[in-house]
Chains A and B, each alone.
Chain A
Amino acid sequence: MWKWLNSYADPERSYKLAGTFLPWFVCLAIALIGVGTTWGLLFAPMDYQQGDSFRIIYIHVPAASMSMAAYMGMATASFIGIVWQIKAADWAAASIAPIGAVITFIALFTGAAWGKPMWGTWWVWDARLTSELVLLFLYLGVIALYASFEDKVLAARAAGILAIVGVINIPIIKYSVDWWSSLHQPATIKITEKSTMTGDMLYPLLINIVGFGMMIGAITLVRFRAEVLARNGMRPWVRELATQEVSK
Chain B
Amino acid sequence: MNPRRKKRLTLAVALIAGVAAVASLLLYALNSNLNLFYTPYEIVNGKNDTGVMPEVGQRIRVGGMVTVGSMKRDPNSLHVEFAVHDSAGGEIIVTYDDLLPDLFREGQGIVAQGVLVESGKLEASEVLAKHDENYMPPEVAEAMGQKHEKLDYSEQKPSEGYQY
Task: Give A contacts to B, CB under 8 Å.
Answer: 45-50, 54, 57, 79, 82-85, 117-121, 124-127, 161, 164-165, 167-168, 172, 178-183, 185-188, 196-198, 200-201
Interface centre among A49, A119, A168, A197 (most CB of B within 10 A): A49
**Does B133 interact with chain A (Cβ within 8 Å)?**
yes
In the complex, what residues of A have CB within 8 A of residue B9's CB?
83
Q: Decide if A165 touches B19 in the complex (CB within 8 Å).
A: yes
Of the stretches B75-83, B87-95, B115-123, B124-132, the one at the interface is B124-132
Say whether A46 contacts B132, CB under 8 Å: no
Given contacts A120-B128, A187-B133, A196-B135, contact A164 B16 (CB under 8 A): yes
Question: With a CB–CB cut-off of 8 A, which chain A residues contact B137?
Answer: 45-48, 198, 200-201
Could you tell me which B residues sit within 8 Å of A by CB distance? 5, 8-9, 12, 15-16, 19-20, 23, 27, 31, 34-37, 39, 63, 100-103, 111, 126-142, 162-163
Q: Is the CB of B163 within 8 A of A186?
A: yes
Question: Most chain-A Cβ atoms within 10 A of its Cβ — which of B133, B138, B142?
Answer: B133
Q: How far is the CB of A57 from chain B (nearest CB, A)?
A: 8
- Please report the C-alpha to C-alpha distance between residue A79 and residue B127 in the assembled complex, in whole angstroms: 45
Contact present for B133 and A186 (CB under 8 Å): yes
Question: What are the 4 closest A-B residue pairs judged by CB atoms, nearest first?
Answer: A120-B101, A45-B137, A48-B141, A197-B135
Contacting residues, chain B, for A179 (C-beta < 8 A): 27, 31, 34
- Residues of chain B with a CB closer than 8 A to A186's CB: 132-133, 163
Report if A183-B36 is in contact (Cβ < 8 Å); known contacts: A47-B135, A119-B128: yes
B133 proximity list for chain A (CB < 8 A) = 185-188, 196
Q: Are B37 and A181 in contact (CB under 8 A)?
A: yes
A181–B5 touching, CB < 8 Å? no
Q: How far is the CA of A182 from the CA of B36 in the complex (A)?
A: 5
Chain A residue numbers with a CB within 8 Å of B136 are 47-48, 197-198, 201
Question: Closest residue of chain A to B134, judged by CB?
Answer: A196
Q: Which residues of A contact B138 (CB under 8 A)?
A: 45-48
Q: Is the CB of B103 within 8 A of A49?
A: yes
Given contacts A45-B137, A180-B34, A182-B36, contact A168 B19 (CB under 8 A): yes
CB distance from B102 to the nearest CB of A (A): 6
Instruction: State the Cβ distance, A107 to closest chain B Cβ, in Å.
Output: 17
B94 to chain A, nearest CB (A): 14
CA distance A48 to B27 in the complex (A): 37
Is the CB–CB distance between B126 and A121 below 8 Å?
A: yes
Q: Which B residues are CB-close (under 8 A) to A125?
A: 36
> Are B103 and A118 in touch, CB under 8 angstroms?
yes
